[in-house]
Each structure stands twice: as C-alpha cells, then as structure tokens.
Structure 1
Amino acid sequence: MSEPKGSDSQAPHVPVLLAEVLGALAPLEGARILDGTFGAGGYSRALLEAGASVLAVDRDPSVLPHAERLSADFPNRFKFVPGTFSNLDELADGPVDGVVLDIGVSSMQLDQAARGFSFMQEGPLDMRMSSDGESAADLVNSLAESDLANLLFAFGEERKSRRIASAVVAARANAPIATTTQLARLIEKTIGRKPGDAHPATRSFQALRIAVNGEFDQLVGGLFASERLLAEGGRLAVVTFHSLEDRIVKRFFDPEKGAPTQSRHLPQVMLEAPRWDRAGKALKAGAAELGRNPRSRSATLRAGVRTTAPARVMSYAGLGVPLSRGAA
C-alpha cells in the first residue's frame, strides 16, 4: 500500500523526501508552486516558509482544517482549491513555476477508521478519497470472480489473487463483506501469514483503493496536466510509494524507456524533442530520514525541468499503466 503522506495532528507535518523535493523545485523565493496533493499540508508549509507562494489542490474535504490554518498563517501567499490534480492546469489561476505531486493515501485517511482505508482498524469498507462513486465494498461484493482476481493482480501485484477472489465470492454468497477487518481476516485465512511478512491483505487493499479512486488515471492526468501548465524552466517533482506508480512517472519523463526497441536493419524512427530536462533519476530517503521515519523507505522522487518542446497529447501508450477489466 502507498505510504502515508500526511498527519492529522495539529503539529506541522514533515513529509518524506522534503529536502529533496525543495531542492528539485528550487529556487523558491518568490516562486509560485502548485501543490497538487495537499493532504495535511506538509509540503505546502515548507514551500511557504522557503518564500514561495502556493496554490494547493485536494479532492478530500477532510483536509480543509489544514488549509484554513495555512490560510491564516500565510494569508497573502496561500490559496486552496478543491479538486483533483488530474486537471490541475484548469484549476491554476495563472502560470506557475513548479508542481509537486505526492501520490498515495495520507495518514489522515489511514487513521480515520470510518474512511475504510486501513485493514488494521475496524471500519466500513469504503476507501473513497471523496464521497463520490463506488466504494471498495461495492467492488468486492459485485465484481465477477475473474474481474476481481484481475484487479487484485493488476493493481496490487497480488500473486494469489485468484485464491483470494474465489474466497471472497464464496463468503459474499452468505452475506456481503462490509468491513475492513472482515475482508482482512478473510484474506489472511485464505493465503496465510508468515512471521515477519507484511500483512497478507496489504496488496489487496492497495489494489482496491487504486481502483476505487482511479489513481492511475489521476496520476497520468496530473503528469500531462503539469506538462501543459509549466512553461520552459518550470519544475515538476513527483513522489511515489510503489513500483507501479514509479514506472509510470519514469516513463513519462523519459518516453524512450517505454518505447519499442528499434531494429538497426530498419529505417530509424526520429524521436520527438524531449519535454523534460534533467529528468528520470530516482532519489530515495537517506539513512538519517529512514531512522526518523521508517515509512519513507518506499518513497521515490523523480523530477524534471520543462523544455521548450510543446506539450504532448495525453496518452497512456508506453507508460506501463496496469489494466484491469474490474477497475473502476
């Protein structure tokens, strides 16, 4: 599951790879930065304290108290707009110098049992970042067995997806699966648990959350929206928390990574001018940060600087986006 990126406490939250993100977006004094995944406001606060102005975006209404605190602390340099980062270029009220995206579920969402994100707490099997659309319970109780298995494999890389889907279909024939712990216990009973391993429901919960919230669609949309929004020299920093997301970001910055290999015996296809410079290198948390926050172990930052090349038409081709017939 994607690691948390926020906190519901009153204390200022320090998000993962903060120094690296600030460095990727520098210089910040006087810059205008769009924080497309506001959460608890950790990146926004740090950007504001570094002298930037921030336009923050989030679709989760529970973040409003954090936005109100920043509005009070930085009344002239902070603005919050509700919405999804997949259309951040439409939400921006003018040009920006940089965009930061922190992909995944926040601590606020994990910590609130009623949101249904965590298999560690009893709650309704919901997982919606907003209140719209199908819930995880809707998918678990309505998808055909093959579609559910495909979803768990494609979005969660769950190798035992067929066994889990079969067990879910058998269980829901008696009564709907309605809570997080009900599903987690069923998965653990079905595939077992070895000492020291992650909880056996981890990958399945990740897959359901991604499907419920259309997270891969949001990520691709946000990347291309950033490319449309940023002019030459604009900077984009993206923090991801699992390999599926990181692969998409890597190939977005460097399309050649996902392009078919050209045969030297055939006429060579001319590649388009790159849209991003100084892009593609993956940055991970250092030993000091890992010591302070073990959750940062799975975080990866990739960043790039916009070139003069015109923005591309949005396309999934070559990005390695997982496909699932059962996805929402």
Structure 2
Amino acid sequence: MQKTARTVVIHETGGPEVLKIEDRPLGDPGPGEVRIRHHACGLNFIDVYQRTGLYPMELPHALGMEAAGVIEAVGEGVTHLKPGQRAAYAAVPAGAYCEARVMPASQVCPLPGGISFETAAAMMLKGLTVEYLFHRTTPLKRGDTVLFHAAAGGVGLIACQWAKSEGIKLIGTAGTDDKCRLAQFNGATHCINYRTEDFASRVAEITGGKGVDAVMDSVGADTFEGSLDCLKPLGMMISFGNASGPVPPFNIGILGQKGSLKITRPTLFTHIADHSVCQAMARRLFGKVAGAEVKIHIDQRFELDQVAEAHRALEARQTTGSTILVP
C-alpha cells in the first residue's frame, strides 16, 4: 500500500497562492471509514469560500468536497461498500483534493458502471445540490417557473436539464450571450444576460408580471434584492451560495411587503447528513445521468499541481459547466 498521498492543503486563508501540495500519511480505515483512491476530484465554489476564510475551518486543512475512485479498504461496520468497488461522494470533512484518503463511509456512494469517474467527480456536489433544490426545499410541480442564477455554471447546467426533464420552466441568468445560449441549449426556457439587461424587469416581462414560483440563487449579495422582486406572492427565495459575497443583513419585514415571501438558506450537507437520505439522493442523480436526462459538462480539466490556476479561473468566472482535478 502507498503510505502517503499527495494532498492539497492550506495553512492560512487567502488567495490561490495559499494552496500547497504535501505528502500526507495514508493509513488504514477505522470503524465506519473507507480508504478510497481517487481517479478524479471536483472543483466547487465552496472550496473557494473555505480557502478565503468565508467558511472558517481549523487550519491546516485539506480542501475539496467531492471525488470519485475505487475503494481500497473498508473499516468495521461498513456494509454498503467493499474493496475494489467504484464509488463517488460529496462529503465532509473537506479533503478530496488528493490522490487517496481515509474518510467516513456514510456519504460515499456506490457508482454505477455506466458513469465514468470524471463524470461522477464533476457531478456529485453539484448534482446532489440540484436534487435537493428541486425535490427537498419547496414543492415544485410540472408547469411551475423558477429563476436560476449562474445558469451556465456547473450547478446551473445540471439544473437547466433537470428542470426540463420534469416539465419546470427555468429562466436563467448568465454573464455573456454565449453563456446564455449554452443554458438555453441545455433546457432553460429563457436566459437573461445580467450584464446587458435588468434581470428583474426581464423576468416580469417573461412572466406577464406574475413572477416566478421560486428563485434559486447561488450568487448572493449582487442578486439578492432583485431576486426578491422576481417572486410571485408566497414565492420561495432559495439562497444557497455567495459567489459575489454574503447577503447583507436585511429587514425581514420586506418579505411581507413584497407578497408574504418565504426564504431559506439551505446547505447540501444538512440534507446528506443522514446516510439513507444521501444514498437515495445519489440514486436519483445517477438515474438522471444514466437515463440521459442530464448530461454532465466537463469544460475544464487541471492536473492536481495546477489547483491554484483552477481556483483563479473559477473565481474570475472564466469557467462553464464543471471543472475537475486529475490526481
């Protein structure tokens, strides 16, 4: 067995320059744990939030929340996985940017044979996020309309296809005309270039002034107020990310003034904390992908040594679809 694994670690918060690659000890799994050797690792904005300190962690700490590979060993009590089995995960604690690791087994999921390691690594955190947005956050049914910000990103392109597969109208936003075309190609009913149009006014036009049933917003500060203006009375604001910075404090009375609106700030890791729920969410995601209802777009690939470059591209919004790291 290889005794160490190359792992991306931060010793301080800051820019991409704080990302360091170290050889870390690699032992045997204890009770409830597995050792997995990665074939591909996913890149997500939560990794940036952790690197910058927006989401605090005890340092030093490895980064990365999703990956796919082969199980090398299982600890006592692990029954849903076995050595030699293909697997994928989005899970805590962070540490997926590495060649291999020992980790809790609960959120590691058996990977169907028809889904590649790269596809799995690119979709676990993003795809499970879309699953809970559409199935576990607010009731949505065929014919409903949602506004989805960053519709050409990794989560967004999955959401566009997911919505189309379930008869939900998705109005997307993106920062370029090319990204808008990409979102529409993947199932968005409309896509608004927020750099050239006021998205709230455009949503009002598209919906005939009625507004949307739900807003799914991972952008944060820049889009929050406009997003509230896009909702119909009793609509749901789902704020699930902070790409432009955290939403500042606001007067909760605004929700009443704008039509008795509802608001939630969910996280994926609350949803997948329960083992059986996590596995059920993964099976639904795998079914969407295996059934060709959702195609995972891997538009950027970086070697593990290029992790800082990958972070710079993500933060500069120079990426589309999903990005993976190859150990």
Bigger helix share: 1
- TM-score w.r.t. the length of structure 1 is 0.25
For CA contacts below 8 A with separation 6 or more, give which structure has more relative contact order: 1
Higher strand share: 2
